[in-house]
Amino acid sequence: MAVRHRNPGIRPHPTIGQWLDRAARAAFPATCSVFIMLLTLAPFGVAGQAVLLPAVTLACIWFWSLFRPAAMPPPAVFGIGLLLDLLGYLPLGVGVLTLLLVHGFALRLRRFLAQQGFALSWLAFVPIAAGAAFLSWALVALLTLRLVPIGLAVFQAVLSATLYPVLAIPLAWAHRSIAEAEPG
């Protein structure tokens, strides 16, 4: 029995340029997130600049998981979480678990939040960022067997919630500019 296609006809094979374009569009969210992470660690001479790393990473994962989930699959989130652990001097697995949980929440809420405006996605991010900060705090305390000051988790939650709009605006612009081209 022959398999019937929904759209019968001759389909040309994609050219190398089309294939590279699709690959670049698919890789952009993860690549952009890693670039922003590395940018937070560049030596700009700003005091306390390293504390931006977890907040920026969390905001990127939330944004791309909401608006381009196919381009931010769990293996990419895992890799970004591992990079966060290594760059942020965290016990291995803290960033991975935290980012994968945030990714899962974003996917769960995606159908609703992607249809709403920016304000609602930001309001949904605030408790997620707080939960992620306190989870990271608890995991670091547990894995290092030291009591870490709770103020660090509070600061991280506030910083993440505050930085999200700053990052979401250019990320939204990038999201619109890399939208899939019309099939032709």
Whole-model pTM above 0.85? yes
Q: What is the pLDDT of residues 86-95, one digit of tens each?
A: 999 999 999 9
User: Could you tell me if residue 184 is inside a domain?
Assistant: no
pLDDT at 13: 85
pLDDT score of 182: 44
Which residue range forms the structural domain that includes residue 74?
A: 16-177
Count the domains in the chain: 1
pLDDT for residue 183 is more than 70: no
Structural domain includes residue 6? no
Instruction: Evaluate whether residue 42 is within a structural domain.
Output: yes
Give domain status of residue 10, yes or no.
no
**Residue 148 maps to a domain:** yes
Check residue 46 and give its pLDDT: 85
For the chain, what is the mean pLDDT? 91
> Residue 74 class from Cβ within 10 Å (0-12 exposed, 13-18 middle, 19+ buried)?
middle
Supply the pLDDT for residue 22.
87
For residues 18 and 127, which has the higher predicted lDDT (pLDDT)? 127
Is 120 within 8 Å of 113 (Cβ atoms)? yes
Summarised one tens digit per residue, pLDDT across range 42-76 is 998 888 888 999 999 999 999 999 999 999 999 99
CA 113 to chain centre: 15
Is residue 106 situated within a structural domain? yes
Any domain includes 7? no
Instruction: Classify residue 110: in a domain, yes or no.
Output: yes
